[in-house]
A and B are shown apart, each in its own frame.
Chain A
Amino acid sequence: MDVFDIIGPIMVGPSSSHTAGAARIGKIARNLLGEEPVEAIIELHGSFAQTYKGHGTDRAIIGGLLGFEPDDLRIRDSLDIASQKGLGYSIRKVSLKDAHPNTARISIRDDSGKVVVVTASSVGGGNVVVKDINGLEVDFTGRSHTIVIPHRDAPGVVAAVTGLLSSNQINIGEMKVYRKRRGGDAIMVIEVDQEIDQNTADKLSELSFINQVTILKPL
């Protein structure tokens, strides 16, 4: 915790959990897709489902999907902006098993047909926890510089990634690897101390067995 956790963040109101955190969840989903989304299915659970209209949670998530930061006033008009930009969306109230009260599951698709499904919870003060990416259980906050790398589970993949980071003087603070089964789909989530430049990201994505590299900047 530092002084800017108390005085801050700068955000569009009315609620740090239901608005700022929701925008952040949308932005993370967009970054994980890596392309402009053209269709979004937004499922809201718990308090998100009950109060989303009054808190502008729908507008915040869609604003995030459009690339807006939590302090971007365009969040207010994001539903109209989405229509102008050709982002179709639907909002559903759902009940997710064992989920935090402020949880959203977002499925987005780009025009090539690529789909990303992200489940994340807004846990207070604008902070979020990503719980699931494409059916793989994960657990990260995005408060540090974070690298998310969906890959195929194979010997040497983790070593190749950490080796490349090390040779670029990037220090790993925390790292977790999740997989569905041996040799199957897996995800690496790496929280690092330094900002990742595009060059490093490109080099990472050229490594074997790596599907995609997403860099998330801290909130």
Chain B
Amino acid sequence: MLRYDSIEELVQAAEKRRANISDIVLEDQAQEMGRSVDDIYEQMEANAKVMEESIAGALQPNIKSASGLSGGDAYKLYKAIEQGKSLGGTLMDKVLVKALAIAESNACMGRIVAAPTAGSCGILPAVLLSCKEEKSIPQTKMVKSLFTAAAIGMVIAKRASISGAEGGCQAECGSAAAMAAAALVEMLGGSPRMASHACAIALKSVLGLVCDPVAGLVEIPCIKRNAMGASNAIVAAQLAMAGIESLIPVDEVIDAMKEVGDLLVPSLRETGEGGLAATPTARELTRKIFGAYDKK
């Protein structure tokens, strides 16, 4: 039985079996939940299907969130790329459009899969679905890699936190990027060790990132941070696949993330009182949104 209290445990268990992290996690979780491997695979595939569906809903010019703060950016990016204004190549184009689309879909009350949270729900699917398309990877491989992502998330949740209210944005978008980076490495055929380095590289790149949503809503800067988080995952996976290692072991990076999170003052942990949320413009927007509501 796996304890999910360190990523080292997952890597060693996988190496011992000459398997992927997802193989051992799938077996362990089936046993733990008293269900068959096929059964929980199917549930994960259903999640993957909703992830895919959540993209289309937001790729429209006229969607708006209830607050009016967001909507339409994914479409704007999609159109710009269609007109040849691409900077990062086709993989990055897809990743950014999908990350924005899913995060906007969430803000506009679309149906999404929390991964690990609703606020960071665009990162993991944007990375995996785009690479699946670009590299013609079979669906089963992608669905399996979601188990690796989930196992990484479980370890982070146990050792640190995946909640912005507890650990800041590093714990939400940072964890999502770390999960996506590890899953992507596995999906591309990298070793469990490489996956753990990708996870470490993604997480340590955003240590200290605060959770400062304007008006307390999951919109500004959350949606754009999903695009950032997805690109962070691609960068980390690319480095790890080249054999680049994180000299600080991944579990120590997670512990550092927790320590930094504990040091963050409450105003920088999802209260909507500090950082971007405390800027004059954010205060004005907040007044407009909630003032307007009160008049209705």
A residues near B (Cβ < 8 Å) are 1-16, 19-20, 47, 50-51, 53-56, 59, 71, 73, 75-76, 124-126
Contacts and interface: CB of A to CB of B under 8 A. Distances in A.
B293 A14 contact: no
Interface of B: 4, 25, 29, 32-33, 40, 43-44, 46-47, 50, 65-67, 105-119, 121, 124, 146-147, 149-151, 153-154, 157-158, 162-163, 165, 179, 215-219, 272, 289-290, 293
B107 A14 contact: yes
Given A13-B105, A13-B121, A124 B113 contact: no
B114 A125 contact: yes
A10 B112 contact: yes
Given A6-B162, A8-B47, A55-B217, A16 B114 contact: yes
B109 A53 contact: no
Given A6-B153, A7-B47, A56 B109 contact: yes
A13 B25 contact: no
6 contacts: A1-B158, A3-B147, A6-B157, A7-B116, A14-B65, A125-B114
- Most B CB contacts (10 A, CB to CB) among A2, A59, A75 go to A2
A12 B54 CA distance: 10
A9 to B, nearest CB: 6
Given A12-B110, A15-B118, 15 more contacts: A2-B154, A3-B29, A4-B43, A7-B114, A7-B153, A9-B114, A10-B47, A10-B112, A20-B118, A51-B272, A54-B219, A56-B109, A71-B111, A73-B111, A124-B163
Given A3-B44, A54-B217, A13 B153 contact: no
Contacts of B109: 12-14, 19, 56, 59, 73, 75-76
B215 A51 contact: yes
A47 B165 CA distance: 12
Contacts of B108: 13-14
Given A54-B217, A73-B111, A14 B118 contact: yes
A53 B33 CA distance: 37
A126 B113 CA distance: 12
Contacts, number: 134
Contacts of B115: 6-8
Query: What 10 A-B pairs have minimum CB-CB distances, sorted nearest first?
Result: A13-B106, A6-B153, A3-B150, A54-B217, A14-B218, A6-B150, A54-B67, A53-B293, A76-B109, A16-B118
Given A7-B116, A53-B66, A14 B47 contact: no
Given A14-B107, A14-B217, A54-B67, A7 B118 contact: no
Task: Tell me the interface secondary structure of chain B in the complex.
Answer: helix
Contacts of A3: 25, 29, 40, 44, 147, 150-151, 154
A177 B106 CA distance: 39
A14 B111 contact: no
Contacts of A1: 4, 154, 157-158
Contacts of B219: 14, 54
Contact of B218 (A9, A13, A50, A76): A13
* From A9, A20, A54, A56, residue with most partner B Cβ within 10 Å: A54
A6 B154 contact: yes
A6 B4 CA distance: 12
Contacts of B272: 51
A76 B110 CA distance: 8
A207 B45 CA distance: 43
B24 to A, nearest CB: 12
Contacts of B33: 2
Contact of B217 (A9, A51, A75): A51
A54 B113 contact: no
Contacts of A16: 114, 117-118
Nearest to B68: A54
B113 A8 contact: yes
B224 to A, nearest CB: 15
A5 to B, nearest CB: 8
Contacts of B32: 2
Contact of B110 (A7, A8, A13, A125): A13
Specify which of A7, A20, A59, A75 lies most central, judged by the most chain B CB atoms within 10 Å of its CB. Answer: A7
Contact of B215 (A2, A54, A59, A71): A54
Given A3-B29, A6-B150, A54 B44 contact: no
A103 B228 CA distance: 33
Interface core residue of B116, B179, B219, B289 (most chain A CB under 10 Å): B116
Contact of A11 (B114, B217, B218): B114
A8 B157 CA distance: 14
Contacts of B154: 1-3, 5-6
